[in-house]
């Protein structure tokens, strides 16, 4: 554990759906004082009192650079982004924020010789030309959303900074993520979180995707574990310097409704697909994560049933 204590970590976008849980997990491993959380927003309730917090706009490179030097940062987890559904409403902004923020982080990493950089990609890199089932690590990558285009370009930049400047960059293509601690931030798979809240409060939910839209999904504890396991893997094991496919489960709104009905039998769900249906129609239903399994031992722990039971118990303690 000795080397872990020498690391000083900056989490950018720490108040988001992933950031809150990732920051808390990193603080357990590296020590509270060694993980600096940052975001545009006010500090998230769950982060308060758990370690240092600074306000940061990652679009301001100066500010980022000074922060990295002042806090002796050695690793950056860059999570700030405009997500898929929000991105389609303002493509120019999504491109600008997603790309420029990543380039700022990569430049500072190069200039300050940071030990490691983490930046997540997404299954949104795939497009209508990619295989729908078991989308391979290397395949046709022709995304049709601005979010997907920014993730595809981001992956290329990661590889570029690794090859050209030796920056130790690491990334996974997250599927849709389901969590109970912090709310999702404008993605196409947000329904899979909303449905739990509505099931518990109203016993009815109107879904913005059609009943049989199958998408790759993952429970947050698996996503956090994947992230940390990838970041802690020895550098020589990392053969993919763009972003690894990782997979846990695939389900449709109809199937998650059925899983919740095992606990809340009178849940009613109707389906009124909106513009997010078009986005999800371009993504694969399942992805092939054999490279991640082979290189750094990735293995999920949660399937649909186990995730559903855990979500309900955590959202309403005492729930059976
Ligand atoms: P989120 O929207 O919940 O959180 C992003 C955070 O970044 C927010 O707290 C926001 O305030 C902050 N932020 C935005 N602009 C900023 C700026 N200029 N400076 C500093 N902070 C800023 O997103 P998330 O779901 O936690 O996603 C984190 C990363 O994971 C993103 O790169 C996203 O594309 C990727 N990802 C997420 C999912 C998912 O299902 N949640 C799936 C695939 C990939």
Q: What's the gap in Å between 287 CA and the centre of ligand 1?
A: 22
Number of the ligand 1 atom closest to the C-alpha atom of 58: 19
For atom 28 of ligand 1, the residue with the nearest CA is: 79
Q: What is the atom index within ligand 1 of the atom nearest the CA of 44? A: 9
Ligand 1 interacting residues, C-beta cut-off 6 A: 12-13, 15-19, 39-41, 56-59, 79-81, 83, 120, 122, 174, 176-177, 184-185, 187, 189
- Distance between first and last Cα of the chain: 39
Residue count (the chain):
320
Task: Count other Cβ atoms within 10 Å, centred on residue 174.
Answer: 23
Q: Does position 318 have pLDDT exceeding 70, yes or no? A: yes
Percent of the chain with pLDDT over 70: 98
Q: How many CB atoms lie within 10 A of CB 9?
A: 26
How much distance in Å is there from the Cα of 315 to the middle of ligand 1? 22
Single out the catalytic residue among 53, 77, 147, 161: 147
> Per-residue pLDDT tens for 68-121?
999 999 999 999 999 999 999 999 999 999 999 999 999 999 999 999 999 999
pTM, whole model, 2 decimals? 0.97
> How many C-beta neighbours within 10 Å does residue 186 have?
18
ipTM: 0.99
């Amino acid at each position: 554990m000795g080397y872990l204590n020498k690391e000083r970590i900056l989490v950018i976008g720490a108040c988001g759906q992933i950031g809150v849980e990732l920051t808390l997990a990193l603080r357990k491993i590296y020590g509270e004082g060694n993980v600096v959380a940052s975001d545009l927003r006010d500090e998230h309730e769950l982060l308060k009192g758990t370690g240092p917090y600074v306000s940061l706009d990652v679009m301001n490179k100066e500010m980022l650079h000074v922060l990295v030097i002042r806090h002796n940062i050695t690793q950056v987890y860059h999570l700030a982004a405009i997500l898929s559904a929000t991105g389609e409403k303002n493509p120019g902004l999504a491109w600008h924020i997603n790309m420029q923020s990543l380039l700022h982080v990569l430049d500072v990493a190069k200039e300050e010789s940071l030990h490691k950089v983490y930046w997540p990609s997404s299954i949104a890199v795939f497009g209508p030309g990619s295989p729908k089932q078991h989308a391979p690590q290397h395949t046709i990558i022709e995304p049709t959303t601005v979010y997907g285009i920014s993730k595809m370009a981001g992956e290329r930049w990661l590889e570029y900074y690794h090859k050209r400047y030796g920056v130790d960059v690491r990334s996974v293509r997250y599927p849709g993520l389901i969590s109970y601690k912090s709310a999702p931030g404008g993605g196409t798979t947000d329904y899979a979180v909303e449905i739990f809240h509505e099931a518990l409060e109203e016993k009815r939910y109107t879904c913005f995707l059609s009943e049989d839209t199958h998408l790759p999904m993952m429970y947050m504890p698996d996503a956090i574990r994947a992230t940390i396991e990838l970041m802690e893997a020895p550098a020589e094991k990392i053969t993919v310097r763009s972003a690894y496919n990782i997979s846990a489960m695939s389900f449709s709104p109809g199937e998650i409704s059925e899983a919740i009905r095992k606990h809340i039998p009178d849940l009613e769900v109707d389906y009124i697909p909106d513009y997010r249906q078009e986005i999800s129609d371009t993504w694969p239903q399942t992805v092939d994560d054999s490279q991640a399994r082979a290189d750094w031992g990735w293995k999920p722990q949660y399937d649909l049933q186990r995730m559903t039971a855990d979500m309900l118990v955590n959202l309403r303690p005492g729930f059976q």
